[in-house]
Amino acid sequence: MILAIKLAYRNLIGAGLRTWLNVIVLSFSFVIIIWIKGVMVGWDYQAKTDMTHYEIGGGQYWQETYDPYDPLTLDISNAPIPDEVKTEVAHGDMEPVLVVPGNIFPQGRMQAVTIKGIRPEQNLLKLPTEKLDTIADDAIPAIIGLLMANSTRLSLGDRVTIRWRDANGTFDAAEILIAGIFSSNVPSAEAAQVYIPLERLQHMTLLEGHATLMTFRDPEAPRPELPGWKLKTKADLTRQVDEMIKTKTVGQSVLYGILLLLAMLAIFDTQVLSIFRRQKEIGTYIALGYTRGEVVGLFTVEGTMHAVLAAIAATIYGLPFLLWQAKVGWTMPIDTSEFGMAIAQTLYPMYTIGLVVSTVLLVTITTAIVSYLPSRKIAKMNPTEALRGKLQ
């Protein structure tokens, strides 16, 4: 095997420009596949991290009738906070949130919103809820997301009328003060969402001690079944992100296939040409005692070494590029806030050992197969005819 590797390396270097063209094309495949897959891994990590910090924590309990995609259920989607979790709530490891539908009237326009009551002192989520302690005698302090601020043209310190309906079905209205505006990269935590103090919302809606969902901190702690509540694990709440990334990955496989096809086609043609032009050399190997299998193996190793050299070339120029991308990120050319998904405007690729190893193995094995296919013809060659340069 060592002799075959030495001969293969010498033959590749002797081929000159043809070898290096194949190596460069194949190295592009290495770098682009690793970069794009790294972007997907980075997106997955960023999205789940942002959702954890601003919306889902380590998981949630939902009141059994709550459906975030059906605003008609919000009026009835609440229940008293269970006694089993009150200790955890008191320690700050679980945050109850009351969710009710409402409307605001910015610049005389009416816009439907979701009013969320949350405790100002909470530290489970990164929402700037401490600003809900702002003193405003004639208004309710509130915080909103940047998406909400842009769509309603509200700014810090603005006042706007908000309307809601209490537990008896009676409409009421008050004025809120925009005490804080935050940006989270999580549209579902920002778009049409207004956050006010939990106790204030409970009092306004006559739902003292009630909540719609309860977010907990520790995703690994065992969770009891609570009557009237549905347990939503972190995996359940991030499934939409996983499905989106899976869809994108399948689509990108077409690009991977095209890159590999171009590189493999070049290597296949090179192998066919090499066997045609080196018939005398092949006959000499067989005449010297090489078995046909050993000669086939030699040419297969020679073709596979394109992938080895490509990996080295990709490391030389690709490693600085990949590290630079991991540092500065890839800024999306369009506004990601319109996607409706947790995605940052700038994605930072993440490269794992498994990603690099799997890509190298995929390209190397594919190259070996493509190199072997034309080499099989050597097994059918007659040594005497091969020495004369005639292929049967």
Least Cα distance to 101 among 18, 149, 184, 164 occurs for 164
Bridge partners, 232 (sequence order): 60
Residue of 378, 362, 358, 368 whose CA lies nearest to 267: 368
- Per the listing, tokens 């030389």 go with 316
The position carrying tokens 């596949």 is 33
- Report the distance separating Cα 64 and Cα 60, nearest Å: 12
pLDDT attached to residue 205: 94
Provide mean pLDDT across the span 18-40. Answer: 84
Rounded CA-CA distance 251/258 in Å is 12
CA atoms within 13 A on the CB side of 167: 15
The amino acid that residue 161 corresponds to is T
Mean pLDDT estimate for the chain: 84
Tell me the pLDDT tens digit for each residue of 147-192: 899 889 999 999 999 999 999 989 999 999 999 999 888 888 888 8
- Give the pLDDT confidence of 116-142 residue by residue, as tens digits: 999 999 999 999 999 998 887 789 999
Interatomic CA distance for residues 79 and 304, integer angstroms? 65
- Asked if residue 349 lies in contact with residue 277, where contact means CB atoms within 8 angstroms, the answer is no
| Higher per-residue confidence, 253 vs 61 | 61
pLDDT at 371: 80
pLDDT at 291: 73
The answer to whether the predicted template modeling score (pTM) of the entire model surpasses 0.85 is no
Does 391 score more than 50 pLDDT? Answer: no
More confident residue, 20 or 226: 226
Domain spans in the chain, listed from the N-terminal domain onward: 2-52+240-387, 59-217
DSSP H helical ranges for the chain: 2-15, 17-51, 86-90, 146-152, 187-190, 198-204, 234-237, 239-277, 279-287, 292-328, 353-375, 383-387
Instruction: Name the percent of the chain lying above pLDDT 90.
Output: 37
DSSP 201-215: HHHHTT-TTEESEEE
Q: Is the pLDDT assigned to residue 364 strictly greater than 80? A: yes
Give the separation between CA 47 and CA 239, rounded to whole angstroms.
11
pLDDT (average), residues 380-386: 57
Report the pLDDT value the prediction gives residue 154, as an integer from 0 to 100: 92
* pLDDT of 297 strictly over 80: no
- Segment 195-230, tens digit of pLDDT: 999 999 999 999 999 999 999 999 988 888 999 999
What is the structure's pLDDT at 208? Answer: 94
DSSP SS3 for 90: helix
d(CA 12, CA 211): 71
The set of residues, in sequence order, having a beta carbon less than 8 Å from that of 350 and lying 6+ positions away, is 38, 41, 42, 45, 326
